[in-house]
Structure 1
Amino acid sequence: VSGYFTAGSYERKGARRFIAERLIRLGIPLLVFDWILNPLAILPIVLIRSSSYARTTVKVAEGYYSSFHIGSGPLWFVETVLIFSAIYMIWRKIRGPVTIPEPADRGKVSHGQLLALAGILGAVSYLVRTWKPVGWCFEPMNLQLPFFPQYIAAFFLGTAAYRRGWMQGLSDDLGRVWLRVAIGLVALMAGMFITLGALKMDPNDFRGGWTWQSAFYSTWEQFTGVALSVGLLVWFRRKYNRQSPMAKAASDASYGAYVIHTPVIILIAVLLRGVSLHPLAKFVLLMAICVPVTFVLAHGLRKLPGVRKVL
């Protein structure tokens, strides 16, 4: 989806305005999170075990900024989209203008194409994970490269989907079939987890290497990703292709909520640490508080001068 909207944004704005707005919308939140919000999120966890708040705060700051790397926490996604956007802009500058097909010329997406895509991604992911297993991270940029075959394909196929009208080529029947496939694959993995516990398999065998477990997990992951992407896109298009005023406000604030949610969740979790509840009940309570608080804060932030251009 991010690739789809990237292509549309480039077509409307041209290269210079496109990359300038990407640097504002993606680069500024990335830097603010890495330099300010992420250390603020870490601080409450450390302070609750400290007797000297001032000394501990200084120590946390020294440790954080001396080992600083870009793309901390959930903002790795923003970092990745920014990198992919720059690559897309360069490619478009080299390639030149493209033709957007008329509705009648837009291609239909077939089951065979989706099966081939998922199969190729599964094979490539498996091969990548024989080199770097799941969990390995390129530390300077906080990027988990074992997942990048899927990310690269999803983004750049999204840009192609905009140019070739593939979103409109996803039929309702196709979406229904692949949503069922996704549900079945999720159930299959649940069964595998039960089997894993019963047979006492080594979880590391699923993370990478020349093992059948890694091949299975890589293939399952890509087929599930393709199935969910297609199935949910079509399902939401059919069932929820409209917005109430509240949904519109939440949609407008969703990016801001994404950027700020980490410190909000951690702070509220720390404040609730004295509440004695079953872990699942406490999770539900935390979610019930954090979701509205995060969206209200994001909505308020967007009312500040200049913030709407960023969030």
Structure 2
Amino acid sequence: MNPNHIGSSSPQKEGRLYFIDNLRAALTILVVLHHLVYFSIYNDVLTQGSIEVFIGLLFLAFNQTFFMGTFFLISGYFVPSSFERRGATRFIKDRCIRFLFPFIFYVLILSQVQHIEVYILGQEPFTWQTYFSHLTYGPMWYVELLFVFICLYAVWIKFMSKNKLSVVRQSTPPTYTMLTFFVMILAVSYFIIRLWIPALGLPGGAPEVQSFVGLFTASGYDLPQYVGLFIMGIIAYQRNWFRNTSDSMGRAGFGIAIGASILLLPLAFIFGLDRLQFSGGWSWTSLVFSLWEALFCVGINLGLIIFFRKRIFYQGKGWSFLSTHSFVIYIIHIPIIAIVISGLKVIQFPPSFMFLATVLITIPLCFMLGYIIRQIPFVSRIL
């Protein structure tokens, strides 16, 4: 097959994959919305027990099945080419600079801003004791875990070179057999890890395992998704999948995600709601829930990649801005959400309109501050 073939109707055939840049930018906005809903629910911006909270929890649950995993898929796709261009030493050095400085800055500075509500509304004094108690990596767990994956990839490449193994890039489109095999592995991995770390952060499991996995990821129950999709990204690069996957497979992906949600999700909830058995443990409903999540994850990723490849393959000023500023927006969005929510509570903003106001203020503020931050000398080289 022609290595430049990317489907039956996609106009982009060579050069930079702008549709992937656009997808990553769109996912960044989804992350901001995800945390807007999350913090609005758990900071009583939305009334507990209301239909808005129920819809919000569904929104969070569906997002959790794929959106951060898609970041790892995209990152995995670009790691081999970056590694080949720069070489191992320079590649790891560049990633250290790009990841380490933002990570440290978030933990030491922005983590306190993330907890601004306890200082302002909880009237907790700012002391060394409270400072250390509120240290957190926030959304930077993604950067930390990605760096671990990159280092493991570097070790693997070193191992391959010692054994004189070479990887030649091919243009072999994925098959449904490959994807089915991956779904099965992912579903079983979900089921196994949720024996110790229940899904959706629900109670139960093994605290020791949760504490260890929590050093690397905020949602340990989704670790198989992140590992699996990062590896799939590397394979996708080697086989040119982002270009040569057929359009029909993208449509099928959306169909699989919708069909699994209609057939499997109600089954897991109806029979597994008692004692939250669907979330983990030796329960058939946990296996069904794990299978649904694996199918939804793979299906929605297929659908989104093909959709953006066919429909949003160009970059105007808007997409270019989002793509350029997506990393800095990702870093600063949670502290901004915390500031906005705290500020609205201080001025006693009407509760009925507080969520809408939070959304309308936070998103433009993320864009504006993201732009300003990248104008700082040397910052743009990192962010």
For residue 63 of structure 1, what is the aligned residue in structure 2? Answer: 130
For residue 287 of structure 1, what is the aligned residue in structure 2? Answer: 359
In structure 2, do the counterparts of structure 1 residues 122 and 64 end up closer, same or farther at CA, with 3 Å as the change threshold?
farther
Q: Does 1:184 align with 2:259?
A: yes
For residue 205 of structure 1, what is the aligned residue in structure 2? Answer: 277
Which of 78, 82, 85 pairs up with 1:9? 82
For residue 145 of structure 2, what is the aligned residue in structure 1? Answer: 80
Cα distance in 1, alignment partners of residues 108 and 83 from structure 2 = 29
For residue 115 of structure 1, what is the aligned residue in structure 2? Answer: 180
Provide TM-score, normalisation by structure 2. 0.71
Residue 66 of structure 1: how far off its partner (Å): 5.3
Cα distance in 2, alignment partners of residues 219 and 114 from structure 1 = 13
The 5 A counterparts of 1:105-254 are 105-134=170-199, 135=201, 136-138=210-212, 141-143=215-217, 144-188=219-263, 191=266, 196=270, 201-202=273-274, 204-254=276-326
Cα distance in 2, alignment partners of residues 200 and 234 from structure 1 = 34
For residues 63-96 of structure 1, give each alpha carbon's deviation from its aligned partner in whole angstroms, at most 9, with x where no partner exists: 3425756xx2211111110110111111112212
Letter of the structure 2 residue corresponding to residue 39 of structure 1: Q
1 or 2 for the larger relative contact order (CA 8 Å, sep ≥6)?
2
Residue 168 of structure 1: how far off its partner (Å): 2.1
Secondary structure class of the residue paired with 2:306: helix
Residue 112 of structure 1: how far off its partner (Å): 2.1
In structure 2, do the counterparts of structure 1 residues 306 and 187 end up closer, same or farther at CA, with 3 Å as the change threshold?
farther
More displaced 10-residue stretch of structure 1: 162-171 or 135-144? 135-144
Aligned CA RMSD, in angstroms, stands at 2.3
For residues 205-263 of structure 1, give each alpha carbon's deviation from its aligned partner in whole angstroms, at most 9, with x where no partner exists: 12211012211111111111111111101111110001111220121011000001111
For residue 349 of structure 2, what is the aligned residue in structure 1? Answer: 275
For residue 261 of structure 1, what is the aligned residue in structure 2? Answer: 333
In structure 2, do the counterparts of structure 1 residues 45 and 24 end up closer, same or farther at CA, with 3 Å as the change threshold?
same
Cα distance in 2, alignment partners of residues 131 and 74 from structure 1 = 23
Check conservation: 2:116, 2:338, Cα contact below 8 A.
Answer: no
Letter of the structure 1 residue corresponding to residue 305 of structure 2: L
Check conservation: 1:106, 1:164, Cα contact below 8 A.
Answer: yes
Secondary structure class of the residue paired with 1:304: coil
Check conservation: 1:178, 1:230, Cα contact below 8 A.
Answer: yes
- List gaps (5 residues or longer) in structure 2: 1-73, 202-209
Letter of the structure 2 residue corresponding to residue 2 of structure 1: S
Secondary structure class of the residue paired with 2:242: coil
Residue 271 of structure 1: how far off its partner (Å): 1.3
In structure 2, do the counterparts of structure 1 residues 269 and 310 end up closer, same or farther at CA, with 3 Å as the change threshold?
same
Letter of the structure 2 residue corresponding to residue 163 of structure 1: Q
In structure 2, do the counterparts of structure 1 residues 158 and 192 end up closer, same or farther at CA, with 3 Å as the change threshold?
same
Q: Percent identity?
A: 29
Q: State the aligned residue count.
A: 295
For residue 206 of structure 2, what is the aligned residue in structure 1? Answer: none
Check conservation: 2:247, 2:306, Cα contact below 8 A.
Answer: yes
More displaced 10-residue stretch of structure 1: 85-94 or 251-260? 85-94
For residue 29 of structure 2, what is the aligned residue in structure 1? Answer: none
Check conservation: 2:112, 2:135, Cα contact below 8 A.
Answer: no
Q: Does 1:38 align with 2:114?
A: no
For residue 54 of structure 2, what is the aligned residue in structure 1? Answer: none
Letter of the structure 2 residue corresponding to residue 111 of structure 1: Y
Cα distance in 1, alignment partners of residues 280 and 171 from structure 2 = 39
Q: Does 1:47 align with 2:120?
A: yes
Letter of the structure 1 residue corresponding to residue 107 of structure 2: D
Cα distance in 2, alignment partners of residues 140 and 227 from structure 1 = 27
Cα distance in 2, alignment partners of residues 200 and 86 from structure 1 = 39
Check conservation: 1:138, 1:145, Cα contact below 8 A.
Answer: no
More displaced 10-residue stretch of structure 1: 256-265 or 37-46? 37-46
In structure 2, do the counterparts of structure 1 residues 44 and 5 end up closer, same or farther at CA, with 3 Å as the change threshold?
same
Check conservation: 1:106, 1:166, Cα contact below 8 A.
Answer: yes
In structure 2, do the counterparts of structure 1 residues 19 and 48 end up closer, same or farther at CA, with 3 Å as the change threshold?
same
Check conservation: 2:141, 2:216, Cα contact below 8 A.
Answer: yes
Which of 79, 92, 103 pairs up with 1:19? 92
Cα distance in 1, alignment partners of residues 81 and 360 from structure 2 = 35
Letter of the structure 2 residue corresponding to residue 275 of structure 1: F
Cα distance in 2, alignment partners of residues 209 and 203 from structure 1 = 11
Dislocated runs of 4+, deviation >4 Å: 66-69, 187-193
